[in-house]
Structure 1
Amino acid sequence: MTKYLISFPSAAMVVSEEELQAASVASRAVVQDAKDAGVWVFGGGINESIPPVMVDGDGTVREGTYPQTAHLEGGYSVLELPSYDAALEWAAKLAAACRCAQEVRAFAFDPAS
């Protein structure tokens, strides 16, 4: 089976304070459904209050990030699924719960993971 990253940037989720609570409950229900189905691998939101750092091979730590990932934030789910169509179905469930479109990407096969 393939692992899929289903995600959205924080800015995509534009909801009122009242709707945010409902979206939170709905998204947790989808996560529980994925766990119950045995397809949940990992998920969560990026803590945007902690700035990213770069760590070199010698252990040197410096502020910043790669330019193309400077705005990496939002919510992420990794599901292990039998097909791309199944990933699209789970993405639709998450999109409905989170009130915003979800991006779907497949991880390359790695026999060790």
Structure 2
Amino acid sequence: MAKYLVSFPSDAMAVPEEGLQAVSDAAHAVVQEAKDAGVWVFGGGIDESVPPVLVAGDGAVTQGTYPQTRQLDGGFAVLEVPSRDAALEWAAKFATACRCAQEVRTFAYDPAS
């Protein structure tokens, strides 16, 4: 089985304040469904109150991220499913719950894992 990253940026989730609890409840329901199905690996939301840093091989720490990288924020889930089609089906469930499109990326095969 392959692992897939399902994610969205914060800006994609344009939900009015009064709708946030419904979105949260729906997203948690999909997470629980994924756990019950045995496909959930891990996931969560990026803590946007903590700015990113870059750490070099010598341990030097600088504020920010790679200049060519768009900001990484929002939420994500890593799922282990039997096919890309299955990953797309789960992404559709998250898209419905979060009320925004989800990006799906495939992790490269790692023979050591």
Q: TM-score range by the shorter chain?
A: over 0.9
- Match status 1:81 vs 2:75: no
- Counterpart Cα distance in 1 of 2:68 and 2:77: 21
TM-score (norm 1): 0.96
Aligned pairs for 1:3-82 (under 5 A) are 3-82=3-82
Give 1:30 deviation, angstroms: 0.3
TM-score (norm 2): 0.96
Amino acid at match of 2:62: R
SS at match of 1:97: helix
Give 1:112 deviation, angstroms: 2.1
Q: Percent identity among equivalent residues?
A: 74
Aligned pairs for 1:90-101 (under 5 A) are 90-101=90-101
Give structure 2 stretches of 5+ with no counterpart. none
